[in-house]
Chains A and B, each alone.
Chain A
Amino acid sequence: MLTDSLKDLAAALERRAAAAPGPNRAARAERLRRHVVDYLLPRAASLDAPLVVVLLGSTGSGKSSLFNSLAERAISPSGVLRPTTRRPVVLAHPDDAGGALLPGLTARDALDIRSDANARPGLVFVDAPDFDSVELGNRALAVELLEAADMVVFVSTATRYADQVPWTILDRVRQRGVPLLAVLNRLPPDADDAAAVLADYRHLLERGQLDEAGAFGPLEVVPVLEGAIDPAADALDATAVAPLRDAFDRLVADDAARRAMAKRSLAAALAGLPEAVAEIAAEVDDEQGAVAELLAAADGAYRERRTTLGEEIARGAFMRAEVLRQWHDFVGAGQVARVLAQGVGRIGATLRSLVSPGPPAPAVEVRDAAFADLMALATQHADAAAQRAAVTWAEDRYGAAALAADASLWGASPTLGERLAGDLDGWAAEIGREIRELGGQRRGWARVASIGVNALGTSAVLAVFVHTGGLTGAEVGITAATAVINQKLLEALFGEANVAAFVSRARGRLTGILDGVFADERARFDAALGTAADPALADVLRTAAWNTTAAP
């Protein structure tokens, strides 16, 4: 069904409008969506609804005067102060002024609808605002009315006809294929000049491929001389615009002709749809290409830094010496030495520990310091990855826009520390649980308890963080010395195999935590591009447009 395909297309365009980067692209999608919703859908539902004739033109071109002469009375006030018409005036016969008229605009109460028993039944005239004055809101309304029109009367003047802005509007008229009537106002009184201007305008219209768009055969330009006005009606001179009035009167008289006009307008609009959709889809493709590159750059930066972080952790040398020394002093003396001592040495150690019980376990301090060191390392690499990605992004239009919107992308996220601290606390809690479990399984629980689960937890954390890195204790300083003695302590309590498995499990969980953190850090970059990163949208749009042509 045509209406179903049109509804699909409208939905896709709505998605596009919401996701488009920049107001211009969003406006383009929104404009086409309005065309589908406000014109194509109602017109596809009924060819007998009244024809909407929109008067479009520059500010000061005399749209309102023409409107009044078509209405045969002063309805839309004209004036010297620009722009005159801000709220579009709609002239409709009472039979036609029902609710279905221009649904989108009526819903927003943007129209000034005048119901008039003398108006032409079956035709609804709209005096649109200008599209080139300082009032940018006027342009939006004019463009929206163009999208909803069954016919367009385009008014220009001898001064205006070569302006650039009207031709961008006329280009959309051509693409839409809406039946067109042209009026050239304010022609100079000199007959030769007038003829020259008229010929030049026709030439430009031909070059703009608008001659085919004429509502009644090839496009004819209705000339109106400067000063040809009827001040009483605030209107253009009736005889000057007689060709238009006659054409509309004929349409009113002939239901079939009106229906044919509606059908033609609809067919042309449907035919113009794929081109308009293709333009938007091409923009989407273009964005997708850029977005894919940006995402790859961010991904590469984070991947590289995650790898470096992993290597530095594996090297086991990122902890501060002063912290390690504290732990080394604790593990090497007192209670712990007693636990570690074997055979006869044990008696001596016991005696020594009675005389000098050694420092109390700095379990919490050392663990927190170790976490702080790891967090500093992770932040360093998250920061560097963000910066690398941002530097690449700053070179790109979309990337620069995303960075401008969220300056925090230049570094690690502000909540990274908090997040990591939480994750590491969870990790430490899991380690504590495993130690209790391991200690319970072996008969050495008393020895475990004598040192303390907290201290052993810290010991396990250090076992993951600090290694000898393959070097022997003789070659390196405090790092390796602490690693060795710490390992010995754990092995003495839990057995070598248990410790190896336990440390490897803890390391695996830590890897998972860091992977998650880096993934979330990178996800900020994905999110910064917004829903623009919807890879299927271009195809959805093209398919929907194609479906409208395929429908019967």
Chain B
Amino acid sequence: MEHDRGAVIDPLEARLASLRTAAAATRSIQLNDAARAAEAAADRIDQRAGFGGSAYVMALAGGTGVGKSSLLNALAGHTVSAVRAIRPTTDEPLAWLADAARDEAAPLLAWLGVRHAVGHADADLASVVILDLPDVDSVRSRHRATVDEILPRIDALTWVADPEKYDDQRLHAYLRSLAGHADRMRFVLNKADRLTADEADALEADWMRRLSEDGIPDPSVDVVSSTTLAGIPELRASIAQAADAKAVRAAKAAADLRDATLALAAATGVRLNARREPLVAPERLAAAIDASADGALAVVDPAGVARQVRAAVLAGARHRGGSLLGRALALLAWMTGQQRRTADPHAYLLDWRRRGSLGRVLNPMRAVLVEGAAGVPAGSRGAILGALGAEAVEATVSRTLDTSAEEAAADLRIPQSWIWPVVGAIQLAIGAVFLLAVTWYLTLLVGGGQVPVGTFDLPLLGPVPVPLGLLVGSVVASALLGWLTGLHAGLVGRRAGRQVAQRTEAAVRRSVEEVGFAGLRRVESARARVADALEALEALEG
């Protein structure tokens, strides 16, 4: 069977594959109805190709009483399908096919749901299976349902009308929806025996005008009478001559594919003349991402984090390398909670929720998503917005900012320097000297100028008494050292703060873009698959 599918159908495989890919992508963005229809079409094309065989299927379709069954009987030259005066006559489809093809066509007919078949031995019509269908317009709405079910599976259609019914709304509604299959449709105006030759010509022209209004230019119209058999031999010859089954089936598959792909494109808002155009223009999207990220940064406040880092570094320096006085002040700051307020970058990061609302983050995001959804048909908008994550964006963004803040906090180290403990030791030593000097003068003060332990020469260093020198020197040295340490710590803190701020900013920007606009990227990639399928279609159609 495989080789039967032949070279004509083969190029179809690639297009079918891209249709399936596009359908799956469409399903992934929750446009389930459109996806289901495309998948059904792909399945149908696959199944039809699988039947192989040497014939194509042509159905006689039309309203009740126009003479579909009579036409089949006229083509056959004897009664194949029952004809009656009371309407509607044909309840179930009936197949008329070459005896030789009956066995081969059995599975195909089963797939079509045709249970009745009549054979013939006419070699001219060996490559076409002709179906007599129920009507599309009678009070038996089941008939119409039967036809609607079978029509998509049929390779070629012959629409039969008569002078009474050729202008019916019901008929033309069908034709308009099937205009994409015009290359495999022919039209038969039956009951010509009721018309004069002039009338028949006028009516044929009028019908052709109507058909071209339906989107079927240059239709092939035969005017026949199944009563007098006028025009029947010509119609028969025309059907026999046009019967290149493979070409008909390939054309049918191509048209189905085209219809299905175009339907997907319509549902996803992919325009034929601008396939790759995104739902949201790149510059518009970039602006929205910036606005959203700026909004997030206003809340997370990296500058504030940097300030906290600097304060924490300073506090650390003061703690390790501070003078006695410095240490006392640091202890005080810790005890009053001042340090926790101004020098705790971890807590500050995690507490971003108390520094503003998500509005500035969400509003530009939502606006862009709603704008993007406006690019698809109204029926798809709800599903697309769901796929874009517009509703969930509040929770997602909030969670993301939490994660970013937690990660930034986990990565955050308050830098220290080996210099500070050294400075601390020196400061302690200076403090000891200072205390010694202070003690010297205190004892003098207590003793009323009298040295309690024997005589002692006041050590002099040049004109300056040593205790005084030590007192003043230790104060000056401690202050100088403290100032230098502060300078150093400030430098370290500023650098660390800047780095933390930069890292935090980058992380927040990245996560806002990644998470907030992930739905849009998903939708765009699905639309790209649909555009691929369109492109595959056009590449092969030239």
Contact = CB atoms under 8 A, between A and B. Distances in A.
Co-complex (A, B): yes
Interface of A: 58-61, 80-83, 132-134, 136, 139, 157-165, 167, 186, 188, 190, 193-194, 196-197, 200, 204, 226, 312, 317-322, 325, 373, 375-381, 383-384, 387-388, 390-391, 394-395, 400, 403-404, 407, 410-411, 469, 473-479, 481
Contacts of A82: 163-164, 166-167, 206
A372 B312 CA distance: 32
A346 to B, nearest CB: 24
A376 B304 CA distance: 21
A410 B373 contact: yes
B137 A164 contact: yes
Contacts of A375: 359
Contact of A379 (B139, B199, B359, B385): B359
Nearest to B168: A132
A200 B86 contact: yes
3 pairs of A and B residues whose beta carbons are closest in the complex: A394-B382, A376-B359, A474-B337
Given A83-B167, A403-B382, 10 more contacts: A58-B164, A61-B164, A134-B169, A163-B139, A164-B138, A320-B298, A383-B367, A391-B391, A400-B378, A474-B341
B169 A133 contact: yes
A383 B379 CA distance: 21
Main secondary structure of the interface of B (DSSP, over half): helix
Interface string B319-363: 000000000000000001110110000001001011111111011
Nearest to A411: B370
B63 A163 contact: yes
B451 to A, nearest CB: 43
Nearest to B199: A80
Contact of B167 (A59, A190, A319, A322): A59
Contacts of A325: 304
Q: For the side of the interface on B, what is the size category?
A: 35 or more
Given A407-B381, A410-B385, A376 B137 contact: no
B275 interface: no
A159 B87 contact: yes
B356 A321 contact: yes
Contacts of A400: 378-379, 382
Contact of A474 (B167, B336, B366): B336
Contacts of A407: 370, 374, 378, 381
B210 interface: yes
A81 B163 CA distance: 8
A59 B356 CA distance: 71
B177 interface: no
Interface centre among B85, B172, B298 (most CB of A within 10 A): B85
B394 A159 contact: no
B341 A473 contact: yes
B357 A373 contact: yes
A207 B112 CA distance: 34
Contacts of B84: 196
A134 B172 contact: yes
Contacts of B303: 322
Contact of B370 (A226, A319, A320, A410): A410
Contact of A476 (B141, B351, B360, B362): B351
B363 A376 contact: yes
Contacts of A161: 87
Contacts of B206: 81-82
Contacts of A81: 202-203, 206
Interface in B119-169: 137-141, 162-169
Given A162-B87, A164-B138, A194-B85, A383 B363 contact: yes
21 contacts: A80-B199, A81-B206, A82-B164, A82-B167, A158-B85, A159-B65, A162-B88, A162-B139, A188-B85, A200-B86, A318-B356, A322-B303, A377-B357, A380-B358, A380-B359, A390-B382, A400-B378, A403-B382, A469-B354, A475-B337, A477-B351
Contacts of A158: 65, 85, 87
Contacts of B374: 407, 410
B138 A478 contact: no
B536 interface: no
Interface in B424-455: none
A253 to B, nearest CB: 36
B168 A317 contact: no
Nearest to A476: B354
Interface centre among A59, A60, A380, A395 (most CB of B within 10 A): A380
Contact of B356 (A188, A317, A411): A317
B366 A321 contact: no
B386 interface: yes
Contacts of B386: 391
A383 B169 CA distance: 45
Contacts of A60: 163-165, 167
Contacts of B338: 474
B64 A163 contact: yes
B299 interface: yes
B64 A411 contact: no
A163 B169 CA distance: 12
B390 interface: yes
A165 B391 contact: no
Nearest to B64: A162
Contacts of A390: 382, 385
Contact of B202 (A80, A322, A475): A80
A200 B65 CA distance: 14
Contacts of B199: 80
Contacts of A186: 164
A136 B169 contact: yes
Contacts of A83: 167
A157 B194 CA distance: 14
A482 to B, nearest CB: 11
B162 to A, nearest CB: 7
A190 B304 CA distance: 101
Contacts of A80: 163, 195, 199, 202-203
A134 B167 contact: yes
